Amino acid sequence: MATAAVTSPVIDTCRAARRAARELAQIDTARKDTALAGIARALIERTDEILAANALDMRSGREAGLGDTLLDRLALDASRIAAIAAAVQDIVVLPDPVGEVIEGRRLPSGLDIRRMRVPLGVIAVVYEARPNVTIDATALCLKSGNAIVLRGSSTASHSNAALAQIAAQAAIAAGLPEGCIGLVAGGGHEELARLATQQDTVDLIIPRGGEGLKAALQEVATVPVIYAASGNCHVYVDETADLKQAHAIVLNAKTQRPGVCNAAETLLVHSEVVADLMPDLLRALGREGVLVRADERIWALASCFTPEELPMGEPLGVVMEPATEADWATEYLAPTFAVGVVDSVEEAIEHISRYGSGHSEAILTRDTDAARAFQLGVDAACVYVNASTRFTDGGEFGMGAEIGNSTQKLHARGPIGLRELCTYKYLVTGDGHVRD
């Protein structure tokens, strides 16, 4: 006798999202914007509810021994919730990418052909310890006409559940279909594997997390994945750099928020300017509590200075350790900085090619030839000249909130915003055309 098929919460959630996606693809901009405005309003109105849920996660995190960086990612307060709501409002005013005609022309056959942007369908976002991603990702997906399946970490389970429920209720109240926002949680690796193999219902998975999450998905995923993974970012100070400017940029890239993927993890300094730049910079890094992992040339330079040779006779005041091979390939996400000396822009490019993750790289220089060589030679999603790597961000790029920063080359690269959550279709119009 036949038995009824048994489904899991993951399968049910993905099927509901697929049904919702068909309707979402045809919903007009005004209704989507009304839904987003309702979500932003609900976040403010229900702040106390969100904070109560977040307090449970914070308490569990402290009991589990989470480090300060992870706790900072996890923490919500009224100002952070207000910022999340403001980011949703920012997305409301962005142009709707759905229906945008990318190009159009008449073929020699007389057929009219247009390439039009359309939603991908169902997007699953897998993320770690950042409850704000629940809303950022939801808003971007809904605006771009996609249903979303959220899978956060157990560390933020209460926060994510509260945020997803509030967003779903507001969206449905505004006329979006049930199932447009789904949340799966609590099943560990088995649940992740099930989600990553829903190729009949899920069109794309975007992970927000470290190399461990990336590796876990690579083992099991049959659904296409855009990896928004590690950011082993570099700043290279060239021999012609404005050293005052370089000092400020390096500090910003490393210390403004060290626990994020666009923070610099390695500093490379040209040998011609290392003696002029590094004493003050090392002292400044020390004041910011940065641990420096130094190569032999930086180590020797720091060791040779006496207090009398330093400005104001002050010691460097920075904790330093010898750099190992592993340090150059490490994304610290912490106040730790690998620092080394190179003799040319070509050597800097070679170092980055060997150890970089393809996220964000910067050169500080006044030499246009060096800048051009760096721009062409470095293979990364974002390449900067005389600016901090911290600008790699959907908001800073005028894209609104982002789901992540892709280090891949296919479909989307860099900040993943509204247009990157769309594909396209060709619309072809004829008048009784048949092919000879």
- In this prediction, residue 129 carries a pLDDT of 78
Query: For residue range 15-72, what is the model confidence (pLDDT) as tens digits?
Result: 999 999 999 999 999 999 999 999 999 999 999 999 999 999 999 999 999 988 789 8
Average pLDDT over residues 230-239: 94
249/255 Cα distance (integer angstroms): 10
190/204 Cα distance (integer angstroms): 19
> DSSP of 192-240, one letter per residue?
HHHHTT-TTT--EEEEES-HHHHHHHHHH--S-B--B----EEEEE-TT
Q: For the chain, list the domains and their CATH numbers.
A: 9-228+403-429 (3.40.605.10), 233-391 (3.40.309.10)
Picking from 290, 284, 292, 300, the residue whose alpha carbon sits closest to that of residue 244 is 284
Average pLDDT over residues 277-286: 94
196/186 Cα distance (integer angstroms): 15
360/396 Cα distance (integer angstroms): 14
- In this prediction, residue 7 carries a pLDDT of 58
| pLDDT band at residue 4 using 50, 70 and 90 as cut-offs | very low
Contact 350, 305 (CB under 8 A): no
Query: Which two three-digit tokens encode residue 128?
Result: 């770690």
Query: Which two three-digit tokens encode residue 83?
Result: 């910022």
| pLDDT band at residue 308 using 50, 70 and 90 as cut-offs | very low
Q: Which of 66-75, 85-94, 306-315, 339-348 has the lowest mean pLDDT?
A: 306-315
Picking from 179, 190, 220, the residue whose alpha carbon sits closest to that of residue 12 is 179
Ramachandran category for residue 175: left, alpha or beta (phi over 0 → left; psi -120 to 50 → alpha): left
- In this prediction, residue 131 carries a pLDDT of 93
Rounded to the nearest 5°, which phi and psi values hold at 238? -80, 170
Positive or negative CA dihedral for 120, 122, 128, 130?
A: positive
Cα pseudo-dihedral 14, 15, 17, 21, rounded to 10:
130
27/397 Cα distance (integer angstroms): 27
Contact 122, 149 (CB under 8 A): yes
- In this prediction, residue 309 carries a pLDDT of 46
189/415 Cα distance (integer angstroms): 27
| pLDDT band at residue 398 using 50, 70 and 90 as cut-offs | confident
Contact 124, 148 (CB under 8 A): yes
> DSSP of 274-339, one letter per residue?
HHHHHHHHHHHHHHTTPEEEE-HHHHHHHHH--GGGSGGG------EEE--HHHHT----SSEEEE
Picking from 342, 212, 208, the residue whose alpha carbon sits closest to that of residue 266 is 342
pTM: predicted TM-score of the whole model, two decimal places:
0.84
Q: Report the SS3 class of residue 381.
A: coil
339/265 Cα distance (integer angstroms): 9
Q: Report the SS3 class of residue 61.
A: helix
- pLDDT at residue 252 tops 90: yes
Contact 149, 207 (CB under 8 A): no
Name the amino acid, one letter, at 272.
E
Query: Which two three-digit tokens encode residue 173?
Result: 């109240």
What are the b/e assignments for 176-208, b being 16+ CB within 10 Å? bbebbbbbbbebeeebbbbbbebeebbbbbbbb
